[in-house]
């Protein structure tokens, strides 16, 4: 399904006759996630009252083709753009209250562990858990001590163990029955595991061991094989243990799987990175930094050590225009504004700024130099560092489109990179709101559904598992 309304290509200036670019120093707001229920209704996956507290990813980035903000003097955070799949004509007047940005998907039943619904139309759109955005020109100097900001909470499955009011006995028994005796009931394995959140998976895994004195993952590995096994094991391990399993595989043996390092480590919150480092050390009795140093070299090694320091600005940190201006000029002087490139300065900025700050940097760079920052990175960098910087930049500018492009990258060209495809789908499926955003972004960019593309590239139980993980059949 193609977009309606004639959106310009990503990064292009708006067509003549449409709304002008926002004045210098105002930034595009975070987008209401595509397919989000209207305000006042629980987001897809939101826990019922008195259930375990919400965790998950911060709000999503602006959609491709989002209209520019209003004229100077109006609020710096204009109304949100409708979701992918239900756009309004570019530059059209806002519809009556209560109708703008209706969800592209019917409202879902509440589930576990998703963040609260986004702000109401027309209200400020701070990051998840953030204070109201700081006014332009507020008296805060670049480099001055930052006020206390609320840390971004860990994603579900990365925080301390939680007790939830959910019983896994029936699912554990169904899994054991599916694998007991002659043959395997693959349909039951998919049905039981594909739609569970990380906390439910933990309960099923523990219940299975308690009731049958057997390891669920060992039984699955003995019954199935190939990429179907890989996908099921990624679900059973849960997101955190899967991350450290992939990192160990990426740094063991000859060569390094750079794409795996990018997928697992880049664009993550400080809380998630600290959980990954702690679990890696506990499991493998060596620090992740030690293994990264042994496998990477020179400036790429230093880039990833910056990332592993886990000292990004939190998402609730205000976006200060003076700091954004200085970051933009530093990036320009380190790339286009000199002979040669100061790679580590650019790495430092993109590794330490929050997603909202990166979004403001990209927006201001385009205003100031009439070039996309993404284009500059592609021109000035190459190899693993180029891919890593693009991953960090796209996390800030449009995380859903970033992941849509990663899925396409795993399936494009001759053959399918099944290891990347499997783990990218399973990683996305833990956050159902984000998953729906990725599906909308993929449809917008590639003019077909990601599920149809996966069906054309995979087969058998492996195909059925990936499709089920994406919430379809």
pLDDT, tens only, 267-317 = 999 999 999 999 999 999 999 999 999 999 899 999 999 999 999 999 999
- Least confident residue range of 18-22, 229-233, 306-310, 352-356: 18-22
| Burial label, 326 (beta-carbon count in 10 A; 0-12, 13-18, 19+) | middle
Produce one character per residue of 172-205: b if its CB has 16 or more CB atoms within 10 Å, e if not.
Answer: beebeebbeeeebbbeebbebbbebbbbbbbbbb
Helical H segments across 128-185, by residue range: 169-179
**pLDDT tens by residue, 147-190:** 678 999 999 999 998 889 999 999 999 999 999 988 899 999 99
Integer Cα distance of 395 and 400 in angstroms: 8
Q: How far, in Å, CA of 424 to CA of 90, rounded?
A: 32
Residue 438 phi, psi (nearest 5): -65, -40
CA distances from 408 to 378, 387, 405, 444 (A): 19, 15, 5, 13
pLDDT at residue 33, as a whole number: 52
Q: What is the pLDDT of residue 140?
A: 45
- List 74's β-bridge partners, or say none: 72
Element (H, E) at 248: helix 226-251
pTM of the model: 0.73
> What is the pLDDT averaged over residues 42-59?
43
* Alpha-carbon gap, residue 330 to 182, rounded angstroms: 65
Which whole number is the average pLDDT over 395-424?
94
- Of residues 239 and 47, the one with the higher pLDDT is 239
Q: Which residues sit opposite 72 in a β-bridge? A: 74
For position 463, what pLDDT does the model report?
A: 97
Eight-class DSSP state of 74:
B
Q: Within the chain, how many helices (H) and strands (E) appear?
A: 19, 0
Q: Which two tokens stand for residue 156?
A: 């579900």
């Amino acid at each position: 399904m193609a977009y309606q309304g004639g959106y310009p290509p990503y990064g292009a200036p708006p067509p003549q006759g449409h709304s002008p670019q926002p004045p210098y120093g105002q930034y595009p707001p975070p987008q209401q996630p595509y397919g989000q229920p209207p305000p006042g209704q629980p987001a897809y996956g939101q826990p019922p009252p008195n259930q375990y507290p919400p965790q998950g990813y911060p709000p999503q980035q602006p959609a491709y083709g989002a209209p520019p903000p209003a004229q100077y003097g109006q609020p710096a955070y204009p109304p949100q753009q409708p979701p992918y799949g239900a756009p309004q004509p570019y530059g059209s007047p806002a519809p009556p209250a209560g109708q703008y940005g209706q969800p592209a998907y019917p409202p879902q039943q509440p589930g576990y562990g998703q963040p609260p619904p986004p702000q109401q139309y027309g209200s400020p759109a701070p990051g998840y858990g953030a204070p109201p955005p700081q006014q332009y020109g507020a008296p805060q100097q670049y480099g001055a001590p930052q006020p206390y900001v609320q840390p971004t909470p860990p994603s579900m499955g990365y925080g301390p163990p939680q007790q939830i009011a959910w019983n896994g006995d029936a699912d554990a028994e169904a899994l054991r029955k599916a694998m007991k005796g002659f043959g395997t009931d693959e349909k039951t394995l998919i049905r039981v595991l594909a739609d569970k959140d990380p906390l439910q998976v933990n309960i099923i895994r523990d219940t299975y061991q308690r009731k049958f004195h057997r390891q669920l993952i060992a039984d699955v590995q003995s019954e199935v094989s190939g990429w179907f096994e890989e996908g099921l094991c990624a679900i059973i391990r849960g997101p955190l243990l899967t991350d450290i399993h992939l990192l160990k595989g990426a740094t063991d043996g000859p060569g390094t799987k750079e794409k795996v390092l990018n997928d697992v480590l880049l664009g993550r919150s400080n809380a998630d990175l600290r959980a990954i480092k702690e679990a890696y050390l506990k499991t493998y009795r060596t620090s992740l930094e030690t293994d990264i140093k042994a496998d990477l070299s020179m400036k790429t090694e230093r880039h990833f050590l910056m990332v592993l320091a886990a000292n990004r600005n939190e998402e609730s940190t205000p976006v200060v225009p003076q700091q954004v201006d200085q970051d933009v000029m530093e990036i320009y002087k380190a790339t286009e504004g000199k002979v040669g490139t100061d790679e580590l300065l650019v790495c430092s900025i993109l590794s330490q700024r929050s997603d909202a700050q990166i979004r403001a940097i990209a927006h201001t760079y385009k205003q100031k130099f009439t070039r996309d920052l993404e284009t500059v990175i592609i021109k000035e960098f190459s190899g693993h560092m180029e891919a890593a910087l693009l991953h960090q930049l796209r996390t800030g500018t449009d995380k859903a489109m970033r992941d849509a492009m990663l899925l396409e990258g795993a399936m494009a060209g001759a053959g399918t990179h099944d290891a990347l495809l499997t783990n990218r789908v399973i990683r996305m499926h833990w956050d159902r709101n984000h998953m729906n955003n990725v599906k909308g972004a993929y449809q917008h960019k590639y003019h077909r559904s990601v599920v149809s593309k996966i069906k054309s590239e995979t087969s058998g139980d492996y195909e059925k598992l990936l499709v089920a993980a994406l919430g379809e059949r």
